[in-house]
A = this chain, B = another copy of it.
Amino acid sequence: MASPDPALLSLNTATVRERWNLAQMIDGCARHGIRGISPWRDKLDELGAQEAARRIRAAGLTVTGLCRGGMFPARTQAARRAAIAENLKAIDDAAILDARCLVLVVGGLPAGSRDLAGAREQVKEGIAAILPHARACRVPLAIEPLHPMYAADRACVNTLWQALDLCDALDPKRSGALGVALDAYHVWWDPELEAQIRRAGRTRLLAYHICDWLVPTTDLLLDRGMMGDGVIDLKRIRAWVERAGYRGFHEVEIFSVRNWWQRDPDEVLATIRERHRRCS
């Protein structure tokens, strides 16, 4: 399979978050010929959305997504309303950045709850509540199905199938306002993956994230691998995504407390470029 276009590479700021601030990340992307960037909101707050947007534009970068909205389920009505308010602000930030999407990590079980179906219902209500503002701001919302090991504490949307069902329920006309962020790390194991990528199609595929699954994985959250160091068949998944019509960026998001977060970010970015070409 042909190597991917290096112009489609994007850096998710989580990958170098321990050693660089947002300004350094923007400069780093420009220096390494990386054309996309996807900031997390903690990094955005360092500069403010307006100034960040100015610098990102000046560097010629595309914002492939803003991380993150979501986290809807909560024990009380008041807390759910607060989550929605926070999401509306995230949509505003995404609009300022001209982000391709706002990534939604939807949230897990409220503290003390075992009601997974109820949490999923709260997610649906939360997205329904913010969708009109997202449409008005022309910020597509990208539901990110997270690996089932995060169902309790991070996201109770755990398969692409489930995410697409949510999209169909809330945006039946496939308007472009609602879709998914597909992260290979979260979905590579899914027997239904190929079929559901086809179902998603170009309209629903708003972002594509890559990294690798290490064997063994020593931490549920912070032990993701660089492309090529694990077992995910990234070329095969990219082929499915491209066949479905996706032409967007390939965003590299690596949580790696013991390896990549310890290294010189310039080394990390050079490695990303090389592995993107060779292993994804």
Residues in A lying within 8 Å of B, measured CB to CB: 109, 113-116, 120, 147-149, 151-153, 156, 158-159, 161-162, 188-191, 213, 215-218, 220, 230-233, 236
* Given known A-B contacts A109-B231, A116-B233, A148-B149, A191 and B162 have beta carbons under 8 A apart: yes
With beta carbons under 8 angstroms apart, the residue of B148, B153, B189, B218 that contacts A215 is B153
A115 proximity list for chain B (CB < 8 A): 233
Q: Given A113-B231, A162-B191, output 8 extra A-B contacts at Cβ < 8 Å.
A: A114-B231, A115-B233, A148-B189, A149-B220, A152-B213, A152-B231, A153-B215, A158-B189
Q: How far is the CA of A215 from the CA of B149 in the complex (A)?
A: 10
Q: How far is the CA of A232 from the CA of B117 in the complex (A)?
A: 12
* Given known A-B contacts A149-B147, A149-B148, A149-B149, A189 and B220 have beta carbons under 8 A apart: no
* Given known A-B contacts A114-B232, A231-B109, A233-B114, A190 and B148 have beta carbons under 8 A apart: yes
Q: How far is the CA of A115 from the CA of B236 in the complex (A)?
A: 10
* Given known A-B contacts A114-B232, A158-B191, A188-B116, A216 and B153 have beta carbons under 8 A apart: yes
Q: How far is the CA of A217 from the CA of B108 in the complex (A)?
A: 14
Q: How far is the CA of A156 from the CA of B213 in the complex (A)?
A: 14
Which 6 residue pairs spanning A and B have beta carbons closest together?
A151-B189, A114-B233, A148-B189, A149-B149, A152-B231, A162-B191
* Given known A-B contacts A120-B191, A188-B116, A233-B116, A217 and B158 have beta carbons under 8 A apart: no
Closest chain B residue to A114 by CB distance? B233
